[in-house]
């Protein structure tokens, strides 16, 4: 039997329509969620991501501004811009696109972003909140994966979820969010011996390593849900995920396409976090009644 290809476009467009409606109802109260995206340097892939994020904001009726800084921007200059944005009431979310040039510390930069405007959920306080299960913004890619599983009605509780990859952006928070949904979670990484013995036990397999077509059919249990977070540029110029899509198609129960599923869902979660940040900020500073 052939796997069902998860229809990312349909999931994303219905989710974004809900967000847009909420943005419209906030507009009636005089509030427009605002996102500031900062990019340092000229990395072509990052420039595309940033453009897509700003475009998605505009389509949802949100305000967005993109700050394009030259490669030789100093860390002090970047921190100064972040502090300005922290104090700007028009801006509810701040995102600094990574990777940053080597002379700038990503850790230092993330710590400068106001916790309540950290829509990427990279600030140590937000990471801590996710870890202890506190109601707080969720990291965009892992939150998007959970939403995809929910939209296709895949039960998570009690299932064995295997995450391949242990990055701070995806692998680690992905494991935490699956745990919050009551899955039994295993994390595999570059030092895991006989990885296929573990991945073959997965009811839900999430690949987030950044290695094109690493996951083949011998890694996949028949009927498993395979979520591909990877996005890799092949020598041919084409994009490929971490999953060998054609190879797993006959074995998996469900599989996500790359591009067109986890990527746009990540941006959708960014919109959701920006909207929620705007709502929290409005609650913190209620309009003065006459
Ligand atoms: N670079 C690759 N993915 C991301 C992301 O989700 N957020 C930011 N800020 N940078 C990225």
Q: Quick check: helix, strand or coil at residue 62?
A: coil
* pLDDT for residue 35: 98
Is residue 85 scored above 80 in pLDDT? yes
What's the CA gap between 214 and 210, in Å, rounded?
A: 9
pLDDT tier at 99, thresholds 50, 70, 90: very high
Work out the burial of residue 199: count CB atoms within 10 Å of its CB; fewer than 13 is exposed, 13-18 middle, 19 or more buried: buried
CB 35 within 8 A of CB 53: yes
CB of 96 within 6 A of ligand 1: the answer is yes
Using CA positions, which residue lies closest to atom 9 of ligand 1?
A: 97
**Tens of pLDDT, residues 179-237:** 999 999 999 999 999 999 999 999 999 999 999 999 999 999 999 999 999 999 999 99
Domain boundaries, the chain: 29-114, 140-263
Topology of domain 140-263, per CATH? Rossmann fold (3.40.50)
Atom of ligand 1 minimally distant from the CA of 141: 6
Ligand 1 center–CA 100 separation, angstroms = 10
Is residue 287 scored above 60 in pLDDT? no
Is residue 286 scored above 70 in pLDDT? no
Ligand 1 center–CA 206 separation, angstroms = 18
Calculate mean pLDDT across residues 73-94.
98
* pLDDT for residue 288: 56
What do you get for the CA distance between the two ends of the chain, in Å? Answer: 66
* pLDDT for residue 136: 87
CB 105 within 8 A of CB 229: no
CB of 140 within 6 A of ligand 1: the answer is yes
User: Edge to edge, what strands does the sheet with 93-96 contain?
Assistant: 63-69, 34-40, 93-96
Calculate mean pLDDT across residues 231-248.
96
* pLDDT for residue 195: 98
Mutate to test the pocket of ligand 1, among 36, 110, 169, 259 (most ligand atoms within 8 A of CB): 169
Q: What are phi and psi of 287, to 5 degrees?
A: -60, 140
Is residue 289 scored above 60 in pLDDT? no
**Tens of pLDDT, residues 159-180:** 999 999 999 999 999 999 999 9
Ligand 1 center–CA 4 separation, angstroms = 28
Sign of the CA dihedral running 243, 248, 252, 256: positive
Sign of the CA dihedral running 39, 42, 43, 47: positive
Atom of ligand 1 minimally distant from the CA of 266: 6
CB of 118 within 6 A of ligand 1: the answer is no
CB of 265 within 6 A of ligand 1: the answer is no
Work out the burial of residue 234: count CB atoms within 10 Å of its CB; fewer than 13 is exposed, 13-18 middle, 19 or more buried: exposed
CB of 52 within 6 A of ligand 1: the answer is no
pLDDT tier at 285, thresholds 50, 70, 90: confident
Sign of the CA dihedral running 140, 132, 96, 44: negative
CB of 94 within 6 A of ligand 1: the answer is no
Instruction: Copy the structure tokens of residue 222.
Output: 């028949």
* Residue that is written with structure tokens 């200059």 in the block: 77
Topology of domain 29-114, per CATH? Rossmann fold (3.40.50)
* pLDDT for residue 135: 87
Fold identical between 29-114 and 140-263?
yes
Mutate to test the pocket of ligand 1, among 95, 117, 122, 168 (most ligand atoms within 8 A of CB): 95
Using CA positions, which residue lies closest to atom 1 of ligand 1?
A: 98
Ligand 1 center–CA 98 separation, angstroms = 5
Q: Which residues have a catalytic role annotated? A: 53, 97, 120
Instruction: Outline where DSSP puts E strands in the chain.
Output: 4-5, 34-40, 63-69, 93-96, 160-164, 184-188, 204-207, 225-228, 232-233, 239-240, 254-255
CB of 227 within 6 A of ligand 1: the answer is no
Instruction: Copy the structure tokens of residue 242.
Output: 């971490």
pLDDT tier at 274, thresholds 50, 70, 90: very high
- CA distances for 283 relative to 29, 118, 288, angstroms: 12, 17, 12
Mean pLDDT, the chain, whole residue set: 96
* Residue that is written with structure tokens 């395979």 in the block: 226
CB of 69 within 6 A of ligand 1: the answer is no
Atom of ligand 1 minimally distant from the CA of 46: 1
């Amino acid at each position: 039997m052939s796997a069902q290809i998860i229809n990312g476009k349909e999931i994303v467009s219905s989710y974004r329509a809900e967000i847009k409606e909420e943005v419209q109802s906030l507009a009636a109260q005089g509030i427009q969620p605002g996102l500031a995206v900062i990019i340092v340097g000229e990395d072509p892939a990052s420039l595309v991501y940033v453009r897509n994020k700003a475009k998605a904001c505009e389509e949802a009726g949100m305000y967005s501004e993109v700050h394009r800084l030259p490669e030789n921007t100093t860390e002090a200059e970047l921190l100064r811009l972040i502090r300005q944005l922290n104090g700007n009431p028009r801006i509810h979310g701040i995102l600094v696109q990574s990777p940053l040039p080597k002379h700038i510390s990503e850790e230092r930069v993330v710590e400068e972003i106001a916790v309540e405007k950290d829509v990427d959920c990279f600030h140590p306080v937000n990471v801590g909140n996710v870890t202890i299960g506190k109601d707080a913004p969720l990291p965009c890619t892992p939150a998007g994966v959970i939403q995809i599983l929910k939209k296709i009605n895949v039960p998570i509780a009690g299932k064995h979820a295997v995450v391949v990859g242990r990055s701070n952006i995806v692998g680690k928070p992905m494991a935490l969010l699956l745990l919050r949904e009551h899955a039994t979670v295993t994390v595999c990484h570059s030092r895991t011996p006989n990885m296929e013995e573990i991945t073959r036990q997965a009811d839900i397999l999430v690949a987030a390593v950044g290695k094109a077509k690493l996951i083949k059919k011998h890694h996949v249990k028949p009927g498993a849900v395979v979520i591909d977070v990877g996005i890799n540029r092949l020598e041919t110029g084409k994009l490929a995920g971490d999953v060998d899509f054609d190879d797993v198609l006959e074995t998996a129960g469900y599989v996500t396409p790359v591009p067109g599923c986890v990527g746009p869902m990540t941006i959708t979660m960014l919109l959701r976090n920006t909207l929620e940040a705007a709502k929290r900020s409005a609650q913190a500073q209620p309009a003065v009644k006459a």
